[in-house]
Structure 1
């Protein structure tokens, strides 16, 4: 399946305020030996991963130490600039560039150290590392983390807001494995956030990190990699009744209690070859013994017709990750890609499963309205829950992540026809329609959530959809560590109402 990558709607943005003193900024950066690029400098590139957005920061700074991050933050505060962190740059709505013109971007791409303690297995990871690079480095030490399969996503943002991957039912979200973080606050101080030091900040950076400071390094609990692993991807073309029944069976299997924690996967929908058809994909990783893979998936797989295509790779942990990854795990082999798209999310609670009517409604919408769309599109239905899933075993208030009762996370995604701007207005209503086809067939009081790493600046009531009842606590933390809203972007945590 195609990767789910970056951002959201093209808007006209104001020019950078002429009152901002770029000369002073340059002098401050030179004094601290900080590399920074300003508009008209050779190499200044502020391209968003999602080309729907055109954003021009006042400057992009490239610190290499926490002390340099502190100096950048202080320089931004001195001119009352919005300061934002950019790790991998895959924010769906260009939050890593500030979302609007004139922000000061702290680009962390040069902070890429990774060290693994041989005794504990804990790893100190720089926030500028991409997921593929993290996977390779940890694998060399026989260790692993749960994280997404898009190799180019940055670990800083990924772990700051969630971090789901095929190992998450076994090991939790990426953020669940953060033991401590080194954070630069708005006053320039460099602090440690952990259970024993600044525990409230530690709570907040595991769910809404970028609103409270710039994370300079992360300490992770890593895991011994399994002795074998399987990557799989099966694809069918199905009519509406067959695909709807397959979707229903997938939920039944997820709720049955028969899925071991070593299984991680999702189903996906893509455009069919004719009206009334969809492509139905079943893909993921299995981290149990290779000879038990077929029996593990059999309760679901045996309810389906024979697949049109099948790809199964069995080998080591890293071979299985590479087989299902989007992009080369070694991200230096080729440049990152761009797209022009709109994406949303819906996190479906396990306590109130999807109705058959809602699942059939989504499939019907995709097979009919989706076929007539000129956009490239897909819907991913990621399995979070099931019996004893590590994601849902974490106490609700232990981290700022607010969705500990999730069964599935949906990600509907549509690109422009040629993947380039302009983005068609019809794309917004099409993606919105994917979500409403589900919600309109669920109870009116259905408490669905949304995933902060699939950020959508058109989502009404985003504060509660993303953060649930944790939002008020997050606002109090914001007022404590960033009272002047220095770390501001379109969906940053808001200051408490006075």
Structure 2
């Protein structure tokens, strides 16, 4: 029996309209293998759209029997296209969308919710809002919950509430031998540890149980534009931002700098850096005004307030997601895909950037902006996100309850940098020149920050496709967790059924 015959025997024959199994040559194969990052395409041996945990189990058993590597796909938004596998099996869990709240002995809704791994973040937000509950997570509404859970899941409210993965209290996982089991702090705790940070190396999540919190009633979103005339001015103001953020930013505040190049009609005209301070605040406008004034009054340049607007929770989620529809129903993935490259760098609370380091970084940004003149097609960017810090002597949420029970590495992160470039949305793959520029300039920014010199300086959700496995392990997990995860891989997946370029 062949691998394909095994799949057909256990899961049913392919159907051209709503395929449970999609194989090369099937009409739906090109769309089924399309990656979010069009710059990294992989042709898989098969895609299985599962409907139950048992389907996942049978598919894994077939793959294991024929030594076919397996990857899971929830939303398919891996920066490095790790939810696709060259000559491997994609197990797509998007049909697993059951959702239910836990109730107490009198039928009252509690704080825990259980749902299938196929939900997207926006779908989850809408379902939670029916009972005015919420969880922290990233901003793009079509990201799959399972993938987000396995790399940490930082978002605008994480300084208040922690990571998405910290809220997981239990998960149903199918492991490498096809066994379906539960993982929590009390049941299979070592697997639970591994899945919350390095999940794709250890199993496929079919359902999650999360602890939720009361949805905020008031969320203020704001944007302030700044024009820093040169690198020295930029460095001085960013140094103030870091100092204020590390000890004076309340946990209700989420902050990030978005740095982009303006578009020019003339391809020979240098492109100017635009600096935008964006953020969210959980609370009332009067308190927000006092807090933001303490930050902005320390800047040497006056900014232009573009937006200060009050939202309810669900409205704020939609706005932070670019005003996209939260529901993933009917979404055409090809409308959101693009060629891109990105990488990350984390500044840890114990070792903030010196004034000299900020000067080196901003000088590199201004040098790059003077050199990129070619076109509007490359959407080049740098983001600087306030992740941690202390306020009134208290740690913020990222150093939360999951710090010892998850394999997520950089718990003491203060700032998270992301740098990279996008080609046009929904475009073809012919953007090699743009991606070369994105990689070269991103590496230059990364090097100016001191990237690659220490462990725990990267964020696994922003996975770098250029890293080797060893380097990825060092930067995303650190030496201690890497050794633990390597040992656990030998326990839970000794045959390396779950395999991707950075797997353990």
Q: TM-score, normalised by structure 2?
A: 0.88
Which of residues 275, 289, 294 in structure 2 aligns to 1:299? 294
Distance, in Å, in 2 between the alignment partners of 1:36 and 1:191 is: 24
- Larger mean CA deviation between 299-308 and 379-388 belongs to 299-308
Residue deviations 1:307-344 (CA, integer Å, cap 9, x gap): 34512220211112222213322233643311111110
What is the Cα deviation at residue 415 of structure 1? Answer: 2.3
- Larger mean CA deviation between 357-366 and 181-190 belongs to 357-366
Distance, in Å, in 1 between the alignment partners of 2:253 and 2:321 is: 16
What is the Cα deviation at residue 114 of structure 1? Answer: 2.1
Partner of 1:285: 280
Partner of 2:499: 488
3-state SS of paired residue (2:502)? coil
| Residue 381 (structure 2) pairs with residue 378 (structure 1) | yes
Partner of 1:8: none
What is the Cα deviation at residue 446 of structure 1? Answer: 5.1
Distance, in Å, in 2 between the alignment partners of 1:84 and 1:411 is: 25
3-state SS of paired residue (2:227)? strand
| Residue 462 (structure 2) pairs with residue 454 (structure 1) | yes
What is the Cα deviation at residue 372 of structure 1? Answer: 2.2
Which of residues 16, 19, 22 in structure 1 aligns to 2:4? 22
Distance, in Å, in 1 between the alignment partners of 2:366 and 2:328 is: 35
What is the Cα deviation at residue 195 of structure 1? Answer: 1.2
Distance, in Å, in 1 between the alignment partners of 2:465 and 2:383 is: 20
Alignment RMSD, CA only? 2.2
Which of residues 417, 424, 432 in structure 2 aligns to 1:423? 432
User: Please, which runs of 5 or more residues in structure 2 have no aligned partner?
Assistant: 103-107, 264-268
Mapping for residues 38-57 of structure 1, pairs under 5 Å: 38-44=23-29, 45=31, 46-57=33-44
Partner of 1:104: 89
Mapping for residues 203-214 of structure 1, pairs under 5 Å: 203-214=193-204
Which of residues 244, 267, 273 in structure 1 aligns to 2:235? 244
Partners of 1:343 and 1:414 within 8 A in 2? yes
Residue deviations 1:457-490 (CA, integer Å, cap 9, x gap): 3225221111102001001111111110000011
| Residue 67 (structure 2) pairs with residue 80 (structure 1) | yes
What is the Cα deviation at residue 277 of structure 1? Answer: 4.1
What is the Cα deviation at residue 31 of structure 1? Answer: 7.5
Distance, in Å, in 1 between the alignment partners of 2:311 and 2:162 is: 23
Residue deviations 1:49-82 (CA, integer Å, cap 9, x gap): 1111121111111111111111111111121110
| Residue 471 (structure 2) pairs with residue 473 (structure 1) | no
Mapping for residues 62-461 of structure 1, pairs under 5 Å: 62-98=49-85, 101-117=86-102, 118-240=108-230, 241-256=232-247, 258-272=248-262, 275=270, 277-304=272-299, 305-308=301-304, 310-326=306-322, 327-332=324-329, 334-336=331-333, 337-373=336-372, 374=374, 375-387=378-390, 388-394=395-401, 396-416=403-423, 420=428, 421-424=430-433, 425-439=436-450, 447-459=455-467, 461=471
- Larger mean CA deviation between 471-480 and 351-360 belongs to 351-360
3-state SS of paired residue (2:183)? strand
User: Are residues 394 and 122 of structure 1, via their aligned partners in 2, closer, same or farther at CA, if it must alter by over 3 Å?
Assistant: closer
- Larger mean CA deviation between 46-55 and 416-425 belongs to 416-425
Residue deviations 1:188-246 (CA, integer Å, cap 9, x gap): 11000011110100111111111111100010000001221111222223222332222
Partners of 2:271 and 2:369 within 8 A in 1? no
- Count, aligned residues: 469
What is the Cα deviation at residue 93 of structure 1? Answer: 1.0
User: Are residues 447 and 37 of structure 1, via their aligned partners in 2, closer, same or farther at CA, if it must alter by over 3 Å?
Assistant: closer
Partners of 1:313 and 1:323 within 8 A in 2? no
User: Are residues 445 and 38 of structure 1, via their aligned partners in 2, closer, same or farther at CA, if it must alter by over 3 Å?
Assistant: closer
Partner of 1:11: none
What is the Cα deviation at residue 103 of structure 1? Answer: 0.8
Distance, in Å, in 2 between the alignment partners of 1:439 and 1:109 is: 39
